[in-house]
Amino acid sequence: MIRYALACEHEHPFEGWFGASNDYDDQQANGQLQCPTCGSTAVRKQIMAPAVSGTKAQLGPDGPPPQGREMMMQAAQAMRQHVEDHFDYVGDAFAREARAIHEGKSEERPIYGEASGVEVKKLLEDGVPVAALPPRAPAKKDVN
């Protein structure tokens, strides 16, 4: 997995994880990258220092510490699984249903589904609390 520091046209910073270096280029060209804060698809890479491993002298007697990236990926997948197991899936009616719940016109309950960047931006502007789910982990066969 490759991690890139990204930002949208409104300078909202966020991270993106990609299975291979050309995945960013493909997803960006297809308009599949989206700012989790405002929904903008005008996303670009930020300057980022490479991760460099320490020397053996810096490692403890038990070797290197657990890999933070792997722990983050596991946590993200656990969160996604929790949402899929315990929230109501409302499909592409997400924006409409989230707004109805927020306005008290629909039963209060946790939901998830799909929404366009424009819909997400409008929900956030109107004070409706929404957040993007982390993407599903790529299949082992798709990771180089």
pLDDT for 62-71, tens place per residue?
Answer: 554 556 677 7
The DSSP symbol for 13 reads E
In a domain, 138, yes or no: no
Please indicate, yes or no, whether residues 80 and 125 belong to a single structural domain of this protein: yes
Q: Which pLDDT band holds residue 143 (cuts at 50, 70, 90)?
A: low
In a domain, 115, yes or no: yes
Mean pLDDT (whole number) for 117-138: 89
Q: Quote the number of domains for the chain.
A: 2
Domain that holds residue 24: 1-48
Please indicate, yes or no, whether residues 40 and 91 belong to a single structural domain of this protein: no
User: What's the pLDDT at 75?
Assistant: 84
In a domain, 13, yes or no: yes
The DSSP symbol for 56 reads G
Mean pLDDT (whole number) for 5-13: 90
Mean pLDDT (whole number) for 123-133: 91
User: What's the pLDDT at 92?
Assistant: 95
Mean pLDDT (whole number) for 102-106: 95
d(CA 100, CA 89): 15
Two tokens, residue 57:
């002298």
**DSSP string spanning 90-114?**
EETTHHHHHHHHHTTSS----EEE-
pLDDT for 10-45, tens place per residue?
Answer: 989 888 888 777 888 888 888 889 988 888 999 998
User: What's the pLDDT at 111?
Assistant: 95
pLDDT for 83-94, tens place per residue?
Answer: 999 999 999 999
User: What's the pLDDT at 61?
Assistant: 56
Higher pLDDT, 12 or 72: 12
* C-alpha of 122 from chain center: 19
User: What's the pLDDT at 30?
Assistant: 85
Buried b (16+ CB within 10 A) or exposed e, 39-59: bbbebeeeeeeeeeeeeeeee
- CA angle 135–136–139, rounded 5-degree value: 135
